Every structure is written in C-alpha cells, then in structure tokens.
C-alpha cells in the first residue's frame, strides 16, 4: 500500500510541474508576440527606426504622432477601461479617416512610442514637438479635434497640464 501511495504522489507531482511548465511556455509565447504586433504595425506604416536616434524622431506620419498623443492623453486620466479604449479607437478612426485595423495598429505603435519616451507625460511632449515639425498647424487642429471629441469636458488636471505642454510645443499661447 505505501508503494501505491508513493507512485500516486510521484504522478501527481509530475502532473503539477508539467502544468506549470506549460503555463510558463504560454506566458512566454504571449510576451514574445507583443513585440511582433509592434513590428507589424511599424512595417505597415513605414516606420523605420534609425540608429542612435530616439524612436519618436523617426516618426514621419502625422497620424501616428496624433494617435500616440491621444493615447497618452487618455492614459493621463484614470486607467482606461475596455469600453474607453474602444471609444478611443473609434475616434481615431473617424477623425484620422482610417480603417479599424489601421486605427488599432496606430494606437499600439503610439503606445509603444510613448513608453519609449518615458511615460505618457514625456510621450506627449516629445510627440507634440515631432508633430509640429512634420505637420505644423494642420496636425495641431486634427489633434485638438480628436481630443475634444474624446475627452469632452472630463479633463483631469494632468491632462490640462499636458495640453499646455502641447500648446508650448506648437508655440501657441
């Protein structure tokens, strides 16, 4: 009888460790796919990272900069819910006249650019400066249309401060 109990214990332990190993493999695969999504989005929009240059300085598409800024503004408030993320994607689609897939990819790439800048606040400032260089006032108008549609009258203190940073980046009083 003790022999049977020992064999059952060994089988249970082996099953337990096999499950843990499988779960770890699934998690590693999911983490490895995230950079793949970013790379696919970057390729689709012609984003090329240059050596010894910050990724934001490689942005040549104003729509990418606008989506990154809008996403960062959204993250300055409370942590966005899934419904709010869908609303963000819908607004990006309508204002920038994109397909659903393009809007999602722009938001993924914009989120990555903001994280490479050191967070939403720094991302807004850096992307705003870049947007000013590549699109000028037209980019500012599109960005403000998107932000007004997105945030309406629910601006947090951090978002108002970031809006002032955007205005400074565009040299608007």
What confidence tens digit (pLDDT) does each residue in 10-50 have?
898 888 888 887 876 666 565 555 566 666 655 665 666 66
**In the chain, domain spans:** 1-35, 55-169
User: Tens digit of pLDDT for each residue in 62-100?
Assistant: 998 999 998 888 888 766 778 888 888 998 899 889 888
pTM over 0.85: no
Q: What is the 3-state secondary structure (H, E, C) of the chain?
A: CHHHHHHHHHHHHHHHHHHHHHHHHHHHHHHHHHHHHHHHHHHHCCCCCCCCCCHHHHCCCHHHHHHHHHHHHHHHCCCCCHHHHHHHHHHHHHHHCCCHHHHHHHHHHHHHHHHHHCCHHHHHHHHHHHHHHHHCHHHHHHHHHHHHHHHCCCCCHHHHHHHHHHHHHCCCC
């Amino acid at each position: 009888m003790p022999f049977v109990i020992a064999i059952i214990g060994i089988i249970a332990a082996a099953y337990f460790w096999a499950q843990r190993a499988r779960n770890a493999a699934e998690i590693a695969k999911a983490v490895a796919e995230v950079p793949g999504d970013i790379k696919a989005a970057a390729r689709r929009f012609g984003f090329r990272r240059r050596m010894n240059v910050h990724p934001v300085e490689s942005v040549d598409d104003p729509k990418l900069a606008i989506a990154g800024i809008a996403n960062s503004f959204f993250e300055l408030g409370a942590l966005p819910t899934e419904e709010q993320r869908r609303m963000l994607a819908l607004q990006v689609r309508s204002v920038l006249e994109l397909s659903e897939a393009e809007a999602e990819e722009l938001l993924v790439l914009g989120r990555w650019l903001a994280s490479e800048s050191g967070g939403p606040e720094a991302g807004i400032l850096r992307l705003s400066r870049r947007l000013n260089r590549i699109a000028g006032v037209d980019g500012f108008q599109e960005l403000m249309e998107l932000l007004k549609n997105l945030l309406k009258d629910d601006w947090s203190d951090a978002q108002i401060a970031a809006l002032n940073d955007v205005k400074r980046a565009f040299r608007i009083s």
